[in-house]
Structure 1
Amino acid sequence: MLSRVKTLSVNQFTLITALFYVGVFNIPLFQIVQQGIEKQGEVNYLFIATIPLFLIFALSFIFSLFSVKYLLKPFFIIVTLISSSVFFAALQYGVVFDYGMIENTVQTNSAEALTYLNWSSILNFTLTGLLPALLIFKADIVYKPFVKELLHKLAFMFAMLAGIAVIGFFYYQNYVAFGRNNDQMKRYIVPTYAIGSMIKYVKVNYFQEPLVYKVQGKDAKNLTLDHNDKPNLVVVVVGETARAHNYEYYGYDKPTNAHTKAYDMIAFKDTESCGTATAVSLPCMFSSMDREDYDARKAQAQDTAMDVLDHAGISLDWLDNDSGCKGVCDRVKHINIDLNSDPELCDGHYCYDQVLLNELDKRLAEGVTKDTLIVLHIIGSHGPTYYLRYPEAHRKFVPDCQRSDIQNCSDEELMNTYDNTILYSDYIIAQVISRLEAQQNKADTALLYVSDHGESLGESGMYLHGAPYAIAPDEQIKIPMLAWLSADFASDNGLDKQCLRDHATKGGFSHDNLFSSLLGLMNVSTEVYRKEKDLFATCRVK
């Protein structure tokens, strides 16, 4: 970028840097522009030609604010390294770094982060991050005396504003209309959108005064023992990155639910997630707030469904083989699986979800003497290294994609790999049900499975998840939600299973249903319970 220039003025550096950002880092933005053009009937190509010019003028103006002595090099080195990663994520996976993705990235553990490390990402970071950063570091920038430098900078910034004004004068209406029809464009502008999201995250999490903690459901009462001879034992399996599209129960043409088909599963159709990343969806789904009014800060400062169940005296366990419970289980008994705990199931970075069955066996061996709810947080279909989520014995769909740079696999390989993760999760669910059946002389047993969010697998050029909810495709928000009830559980808790099957086919469900559904399943009475949100209330006969 700068290798052919021996010395540069500040304005020259600023303009060259802006040109580089527009020409390289904003390639994903121009792909969105192209998609917008293809949707239009008539296209004003003179207007389209002004878009890169407008971006050059705008970035040059913004960059000028930071092109000052002592700040210039460290600032642009850091921003360039960040922009390189943002660019790669957008180009290869269609990922947008908004507030939710920043939150999800911050909460990602080192083992999870390493799955995104491959030759493609290393090469990109070297060519578009490290090399430009080195050239910035070595650039010989000549600074004029203060007053003269200031005047030159102001003149440059005025020229950039003049360029923006001229474009606006001729094409303002075009920009307004095109921007309204392609609102997602602003999210792909590098580096402004990602940097803005980072600033917002830091402000919200580190500079705002913590909210006063809100206790909910202190009036919670467990009504089960008023009419049941046996305690209830419910296992909630929280899936990771499972999308409804690849579930046989929802019409998929491959046997991805072969293991649970032997059981009388109830599949709730047309279910939507609260978010498109675990850091958002997990606390949201266990919160008393609905997605429309969900606020992450408030969620962190108030009781979750787990806490309300605890107030009612329910015995609780959270067993985690994913990236933690994101605050949901902080005040109840919980275990994060030791990644070195089982040499056959763990490699020090990840464990197969089968390791949770071992922990469940230990918990059940202790005996169930009171109403109990156990949460299994599985790693499920976490990408991009889908092939690491299932053992060789469960590699049923081949050829599969045995690499992390999934964009370089064929569509068939990628889909087979993902389907193997769904099938393996189905195996885990079936194994849990088998264990619950073995407990039926001691307890009334049931299982609820729900995924935190879905996944894009190359549709419309998008991969993985974390898209802003407003523009997220169905692949990222349509999720599976399944239930299994033993005959005694249904009978003793007054639930009509045929009614539930019929109700489940109606659709229109979401994570908003989980909070009250858990309270309803455990027969907990409290003022924070909302009957209209309880999945099972419609079919409760006593």
Structure 2
Amino acid sequence: MNAYGIVIHQNMIQNTVETDVKEAAGLFNTTLVIYVVILGIIPSLLLLKVKLEFGSIKQEIWQKLKLWAIILVSIVALIAPLTADYASFFRNNKNIRQMANPANFIYASISYASASNKSIHVKAIGEDAKLNPKAATHSKPTLFVLVVGETARADHFSINGYNKPTTPLIAQQDIINYRNVFSCGTETAVSVPCMFSNLTRDKYSDKKAKSQEGLLDILKRSGYSVLWRDNNSSCKGTCDRVDYEPMKDLKISAYCNDRECFDNILLHEIDSKISAMNGNKVIVLHPKGSHGPDYYNRYPENMEVFKPVCKVNKLQDCTSEEINNAFDNTIHMTDQFLNNTIEWLKTQSTNYNTAMIYLSDHGESLGENNLYLHGMPYLIAPNEQKHVPFFFWFSRGFEQENSINRQCLSDQTNTEYSHDNLFHTTLGLLNVDTGLYKPELDMTSQCRK
């Protein structure tokens, strides 16, 4: 809270439970150790030396009652003259409980434990899903890649007007880039399950999402072979019923250093993977992207193009320029990874109709208003944590066989969209018929014959 300006709420407890050792290690530093030692361990040791002497039960109860009476009278005396002001303040600042220690983490932990303590039965949805007649006319099977970006800010992509050349490679690709897209949440544990569900952000809850199938289940039911490749902390339950391949611990020298593997490892031996899959194929790639605060660890040294760089995870000790340079280097690395993915898809276009969507799960605060990282409650989160990059790439064969009007899509690139659109847009592009499909949420429905 002191270092990054975050607040503790139920989703933050969920983030803590669902993270992994490598991701959590990025937050550890000497300042944190000093905090724990001076404010935690030393006071605890001193308390062990205190000898407590208790009176009788009657005396203890009487002492406690007197103490609480004094406290309550004092509270009333202090608040009564300002009741209207306090009522207005708490009514308009309901998130204040998430900033008050120790009530915040106690309340959040109990709320998370209560929600997690209930057994969940996963309900099948979209049981009517099948490929529509349009799919039967295709001359080649479909190979569709969905890249779920991590912590990428739309306003730090040069294709969106950023003043540093962070995305020079994908700028040369024939993409359809959307500049006004917003996330469902401000943390992976919310955004990823939300974007893969048929629940809109205003109807979403963790319990609802975990109690029903999602997009990948429906694609699999309709006949697609589905594979999730992960270089991040997990798929947050969205890939539980499809093939899953963790890549982050492979230790392949071409892609990894002694700390972690870089995102290009997601393309390692991918040819052999798709050759083992049948029919139409969907591959989800989940990179580490721009996850902080140790941004400098997300790319190899030869990809450090913007300098000087913040090379510690205590972001408050770095200048704004150093923090932004480190983050921008992660976007530059993402640009290379996305370009490599598109180039690989081009090599597959002889045998498949190929296409790709890139969409980040959430954004990131880089010190604006003394906020860092992400995970703020959505209602008070700044746009930096919610405004995310999104683009399409289609091969000529995919575009023609699905009767996509590219100019029509290009004309709506400034329209506001959100994670709510991914579920229905994907079903539409992949020719999946189901009663769950809503054409009004399909970004391409007006641009396909």
TM-score, length basis structure 2: 0.97
What is residue 378 of structure 1 aligned with on the other side? 287
> For the residues of structure 2 that align with 1:343 and 1:146, how far apart are their CA atoms?
68
| 1:133 CA displacement | 2.3
Q: CA deviation at 1:180?
A: 4.1
In 1, the alpha carbon distance for the partners of 2:151 and 2:213 equals 25
> 1:202 and 1:348, CA in 2 relative to 1: closer, same or farther beyond 3 A?
farther
Verify the 8 A CA contact 1:211 1:298 in the aligned structure 2: no
SS of match in other structure, 2:385: helix
Given that 1:239 and 1:377 are in contact with CA atoms closer than 8 Å, whether structure 2 keeps it comes out as yes
Q: Which residue does the alignment assign to 1:149? A: 60
Q: What residue identity is the alignment partner of 1:471?
A: I
Q: Using a 3 Å threshold, how does the CA distance of structure 1 residues 343 and 291 change in structure 2: closer, same or farther?
A: same
| Alignment match, 2:73 | 162
SS in 2 for 1:470: coil
CA contact under 8 A between 1:231 and 1:368: conserved in structure 2?
no
**Residue equivalent to 1:301:** 211
- The equivalent position to 1:494 in structure 2, one of 388, 395, 403, is 403
CA distance in 2 between partners of 1:199 and 1:229 (Å): 55
| Residue of structure 1 in register with 2:198 after alignment | 288
Residue in structure 2 matching 1:526, options 434, 438, 441:
434
Which one-letter code corresponds to 1:431 in the other structure? N
Say whether residues 1:103 and 2:17 are aligned partners.
no
SS at match of 2:172: coil
| Residue from 175, 187, 193 that aligns with 2:104 | 193
**Please, which moves more after superposition, 191-200 or 177-186?**
177-186
Letter paired with 2:159: Y
Q: Which has the higher contact order (CA 8 A, sep 6+)?
A: 2
In structure 2, how many angstroms separate the alpha carbons of the residues matched to 1:117 and 1:537?
47
Alignment partner for residue 367 of structure 2, among 458, 464, 470? 458
What is the letter of the counterpart of residue 201 of structure 2?
R
Which of the two has higher C-alpha Rg? 1
2:356 pairs with 1:443: no
CA deviation after TM superposition for structure 1 residue 178, in Å: 3.3
* CA displacement at 1:528 relative to structure 2: 1.0
Matched residues in 2 for 1:219 and 1:288: separation? 15
Which residue number in structure 2 is paired with residue 399 of structure 1?
308
Task: State the partner residue of 1:540.
Answer: 448
Q: Distance in 1 between matches of 2:341 and 2:261?
A: 17
* Cα drift, residue 258 of structure 1: 0.7
Q: SS state of the match for residue 141, structure 1?
A: coil
2:423 aligns with: 515
Q: Which one of 131, 135, 151 corresponds to residue 42 of structure 2? A: 131
Q: Does 1:342 align with 2:240?
A: no
Moved over 6 A (4+): none
Paired positions, count: 448
Q: What is the aligned partner in structure 1 of residue 184 from structure 2?
A: 274
Q: Which has the higher helix share?
A: 1
Taking only the aligned residue pairs, the percentage that are identical comes to 39
Q: What is the CA distance between 1:444 and its match in structure 2? A: 0.8
1:430 aligns with 2:339: yes
| Cα contact 2:296–2:326 (8 A) shared by 1 | yes
Q: Matches of 1:172 and 1:129 in 2, distance apart? A: 36
Residues in 2 aligned to 1:127 and 1:250: alpha-carbon distance in whole angstroms: 46
Residues 324-383 of structure 1, C-alpha deviations (whole Å, 9 max, x = no match): 10110010011111514313433465210011111434324x277621110000000011
Structure 2 distance, partners of 1:333, 1:523, is 21
- Paired residues for 1:40-439 under 5 Å: 90-206=1-117, 208=118, 210-223=119-132, 224-347=134-257, 349-364=259-274, 366=275, 370-439=279-348
TM-score (normalizing by structure 1)? 0.80
1:243-284 CA-partner distances (Å, limit 9, x unpaired)? 112111222111111111111111112211111111111111
Which residue of the partner structure matches residue 473 of structure 1?
A: 382
**C-alpha contact 1:319 1:359 (8 A) present in aligned 2:** no
Equivalent pair of 2:232/2:248 in contact (CA under 8 Å): no
Judged with a 3 Å threshold, the aligned counterparts in structure 2 of structure 1 residues 361 and 385 are, in CA distance, closer, same or farther, namely farther
CA distance in 2, matches of 1:150, 1:257: 68
